[in-house]
Amino acid sequence: MLKFKTKWFDKWTKRNNVSDGELLKTLENITYNLGTADLGNGLYKTRMPKLGQGKSGGFRTIVVFKESEIAIFVFGFSKNEKENLDKDELKYFKKLAKDLLKLNYQEIAEMKKEGNFICLKE
């Protein structure tokens, strides 16, 4: 499976001390439907703990996901900053998920080469 984070999301992870290891655990949670919400169109909202805290007051991540094929972390926020996505944000991310899941391997490679997609380190 291809596992990426967007350039914006990579900056967000660095500001919030979120490791690729935590992101990989989050992908397992999506696979086993643990602490995740299927928002439709291949879009998932996941709960992630903050360092030293639990999931309930931690981070929320928005992931474009197609099982056994691709996962792209696109957005993250802290529960204390924002309760949930609003209607317009949800509409935007569903459209983004639809578009990202249409990308072929050559287009994905180009996004990676341009620095827009960053591979998760296993």
Render pLDDT for 24-68 as a digit per residue (tens, 0 to 9). 999 999 999 888 999 999 999 999 988 766 666 689 999 999 988
Predicted TM-score (pTM) of this structure: 0.93
% of the chain beyond a pLDDT of 70: 95
What are the C-alpha distances in Å from 43 to residues 12, 15, 39, 52? 19, 24, 5, 27
**Which among 82, 78, 105, 14 has a CA at the least distance from the CA of 5?**
14
Chain mean position to CA 17: 15
Residue 110 is predicted with a pLDDT of 97
Domain residue ranges of the chain, discontinuous segments joined by +: 2-119
